[in-house]
Chain A
Amino acid sequence: MAVPRAERVTKWLIAGPPLAFLLAFFLLPSLIMALASLRYPGEFGGLAPLAARPGEESGLTLENYALFFGDWVYAQIFAKSLVIAALTTFACLVLAYPLALLIARSPKKRRDFMVLLVILPFASNFLVRVYAWMIILGPMDLLFTRFAVIVGMVYVHLPFMILPLYTNLEKHDPTLLDAAQDLGANAWHTFWRVTFPLSLPGVFSGSALVFIPVLGMFAIPELLGGKDDWMVGNMIKEAFLGTRDWPFGSMLSLMLTLAVLAIAGAAALFARRGAPNE
């Protein structure tokens, strides 16, 4: 049976405007950037016109990719970014778990307030939260170090770990803990063999929510780190606004996108595997 005409019109009246907006200002720019990674830089920054170079047919090139894969430096910065993101994620997990568990096991009336207390500092401006650590770590001579970068990263992203963990832990059936205890498990075993495995979907989605933005961060390394702490984000920023080599910057952005997709995919996969009862 054909869908009535009026129904179809309504559907596109509702979906059309946001769809058109996102196609124009999200998908199209993303595709153009992917294409830009195959072009030559312009003489004064930006992109060279297509087919502008003498002897070049198309104005397209794999030069940027050759540069990336030909020099260790870039792979090293990517590796360093991954390490910083992994350390941040782990630190967030360790800090977030007890609090998320406590909130989940608190009386229902108190939970919303405890969650609000987690969200509130998160509402202050991102730069203000970074600045706070500049004031604290400066006099301690810890500013412009790798340590400062990771502290800043953890501070800014911690709520992203606490909230999904809490949402997961809140759903656990408390009788499972009684059962484990009755079967002779001590507190540690109950946690490690019952609570933690059940919370894995929360752990993975929280980890993805921390890992991904950290990987693309440039402001925190720039404000809290030293020259040695440059991450992918700083390279991208430098290519677009410093050297103005847009094709190279576009190539780096594309690499970052691929890394993010791989991580998000892995997290989704693990989260599904880790949820035996859902």
Chain B
Amino acid sequence: MNRSGWLWAPSLAVYAFLYVPLAIVVLFSFNDSRLSAEWVGFTLDWYRKLATDDAMLAAARNSLLIALTAALIATVLGTMAGIAMHRYRIRGLTFLVLTPVAMPEILLGVSLLVFFIQVLNLTLGLVSVLVAHITFCIGFVAIIVRARLAGMDESIFEAARDLGATPWQSFRLVTLPLIMPAVTAGALMSFTLSIDDFVITFFTAGVGVSTLPLQIFTMIKVAVTPEVNAVSTLLMLVTLTLIVLASRVAPDALKGRT
């Protein structure tokens, strides 16, 4: 303990650095002033304004729709990829799964933009955003699922086979229940990543469709207004709930050991 005593001061400073800016955003969402410079008084006006902002509500609906669908499909594909990576040596699979996660997002965004328009002749919109989100979420799910499988005793699967289970039975009755926490964590993570994504959405959404992050970007490009603070606070609440949920279902997935 003595040895690490000096670490407390810089560590607390870093925690403060992480939390104070967000606390300011939350605080000023209740401030009765257009300017976020000084505290004037408590109000819920910015939340009321938000509730009647049609563009924002439409964006929220799109975000939710995309995040739910993307999480569902990415979880199925990512789980398959995670199992395949653990069980078989397929050349290129690991590369294909992990590279979209490690690359700067802008690269995936622009390459999909060219692909959708030039090759598929697709009008950008919900579908293109959805496909883009699934592409980068698969990797995260696969990493979590593979990590879970890597920590398990292979003999369970052999036992299932020896007892006469078909591959499907052994998957449904043995593998799936065992990896379920990782699958759930992967789904929650995909949902969060999708609903939060700005960069890839920015390039694949086109003009017709807006999501919450796109809407926030447009607003803060124009002017700083407490309405942004209000929507930010609500968004924080949503992701916070999901994180707490994820840490309940699969504590290991959140410890940075995946």
Given contacts A32-B111, A253-B110, contact A101 B100 (CB under 8 A): no
Select which of B167, B220, B257 is within 8 A of A134 by beta carbon: B220
Contact B105 A216 (CB under 8 A): yes
Chain A: minimal CB distance from B191 (Å): 12
Given contacts A15-B93, A135-B36, A236-B110, contact A98 B7 (CB under 8 A): yes
Q: Which residue of B lies closest to A117 (CB)?
A: B15
**B45 at the A interface (CB under 8 A):** no
- 9 CB-based A-B contacts, threshold 8 Å: A26-B108, A27-B96, A32-B119, A101-B4, A115-B255, A131-B216, A163-B256, A212-B102, A260-B103
**How many angstroms from the CA of A26 to the CA of B77 in the assembled complex?**
14
Contacts of B17 in A (CB 8 A): 95, 155, 158
Provide the B88-100 mask, 1 if CB < 8 A to any CB of A, else 0.
Answer: 1010010011011
Chain A: minimal CB distance from B106 (Å): 5
Provide the B213-232 mask, 1 if CB < 8 A to any CB of A, else 0.
Answer: 10011001100100011001
Contacts of A15 in B (CB 8 A): 80-81, 84, 88, 90, 93
The stretch that binds A, out of B18-26, B52-60, B152-160, is B18-26
Select which of A105, A163, A216, A241 is within 8 A of B4 by beta carbon: A105
Chain A residues with a Cβ closer than 8 Å to the other chain, count: 84
**A83 at the B interface (CB under 8 A):** no
Contacts of B100 in A (CB 8 A): 22, 26
Contact B217 A219 (CB under 8 A): yes
Given contacts A124-B22, A124-B236, A250-B114, contact A17 B77 (CB under 8 A): yes
Chain A: minimal CB distance from B183 (Å): 14
Contacts of A217 in B (CB 8 A): 104, 106
Given contacts A19-B90, A236-B110, contact A112 B167 (CB under 8 A): no
Q: Which residue of A lies closest to B88 (CB)?
A: A11
**How many angstroms from the CA of A129 to the CA of B110 in the assembled complex?**
24
Chain B: minimal CB distance from A34 (Å): 9
Chain A positions 12-35 with a Cβ under 8 Å from a chain B Cβ: 14-15, 17-19, 21-23, 25-30, 32-33
Q: Which residue of A lies closest to B215 (CB)?
A: A127
> What are the 8 closest A-B residue pairs judged by CB atoms, nearest first?
A216-B104, A132-B21, A163-B256, A29-B115, A15-B84, A18-B81, A98-B10, A102-B7
Q: Which residue of A lies closest to B254 (CB)?
A: A119
Contact A115 B118 (CB under 8 A): no
Chain B: minimal CB distance from A40 (Å): 13
**A197 at the B interface (CB under 8 A):** no
Contacts A33-B110, A99-B10, A177-B3 aside, 19 further interface pairs with beta carbons under 8 A come to A19-B93, A21-B77, A25-B112, A26-B135, A30-B111, A99-B14, A99-B15, A123-B236, A124-B236, A125-B196, A131-B220, A131-B228, A135-B24, A136-B21, A167-B257, A236-B110, A250-B110, A256-B104, A260-B104
**A201 at the B interface (CB under 8 A):** no
Given contacts A128-B25, A131-B25, A246-B114, contact A164 B256 (CB under 8 A): yes
Chain A: minimal CB distance from B71 (Å): 15
- Residues of B whose CB lies within 8 Å of any CB of A are 3-4, 6-8, 10-11, 14-15, 17-19, 21-22, 24-25, 28, 36-37, 76-78, 80-81, 83-84, 87-88, 90, 93, 96-97, 99-100, 102-108, 110-115, 117-119, 131-132, 134-135, 138, 142, 167, 192, 196, 198-199, 203, 212-213, 216-217, 220-221, 224, 228-229, 232, 235-236, 239-240, 242-243, 247, 251, 254-257
Contacts of A25 in B (CB 8 A): 112, 115, 131-132, 134-135
**A223 at the B interface (CB under 8 A):** yes
Contact B21 A133 (CB under 8 A): yes
Q: Which residue of A lies closest to B168 (CB)?
A: A10
Chain A: minimal CB distance from B13 (Å): 8
Chain A: minimal CB distance from B40 (Å): 14
Contact A124 B235 (CB under 8 A): yes
